[in-house]
A and B are shown apart, each in its own frame.
Chain A
């Protein structure tokens, strides 16, 4: 069964450093997303991406964040100048269409120390 894969599963970084989280969405999907989940809290939307551009973003997704689809398979989230409060699980998701089910990856646990 096709699935969304994310790497790494766990990333530890020092405050102020830049991190890149990687995702391989399901191959025939057109819409890509990043969500985050702070420990014990709900899943929060960060950004959606379609046709090589951002289609929606939340208030959380400020200039510290950027997304890219560098080739035909990968989808990345870059976080610049990481802060302690960026520590969370980051989930990539993808869907075939707008306004329909999305499939989530296993997540990358980011720990900022």
Chain B
């Protein structure tokens, strides 16, 4: 059973455009939702995270939108740059545990 569903699997965006990656979950016990960025051969690096008491969080060009009733959250990358080309994973953690449930990842390519 896939706890966190992520889409799209891959995404190609023009430089300066907006990249949008979506995730959905079922388990209402999840209450922490981080996004990780991973470059080839490297470990996942925390990008931004949100808790369900807010609907949006913005850090620089990265924004998480969170819809608690729909059990969906998304990552928006504004003014996408070639250096943003990487794989992005959403994740969710339950309020009673430590296990990160990762999505399947989105390979983002930003073309100049």
Contacts and interface: CB of A to CB of B under 8 A. Distances in A.
A10 to B, nearest CB: 10
A56 B101 CA distance: 13
Contact of A107 (B42, B97, B102): B42
A43 B105 CA distance: 9
A31 B98 contact: yes
A50 B98 CA distance: 10
Nearest to A43: B102
Contacts, number: 60
Most buried by A among B32, B36, B44, B103: B44
Interface of B: 31-32, 34, 36, 41-46, 49, 89, 93-105
A104 B101 contact: no
Nearest to B91: A43
Given A91-B43, A101-B46, A45 B101 contact: yes
A44 B102 contact: yes
7 contacts: A42-B89, A45-B100, A48-B98, A91-B44, A100-B32, A101-B46, A102-B46
Interface of A: 4, 31, 33, 35, 41-45, 48, 50, 55-56, 58, 91, 95, 98-107, 109
A95 B100 CA distance: 12
A107 B100 CA distance: 17
Contacts of B103: 42
Contact of B42 (A44, A95, A106): A106
A26 B45 CA distance: 14
A61 to B, nearest CB: 11
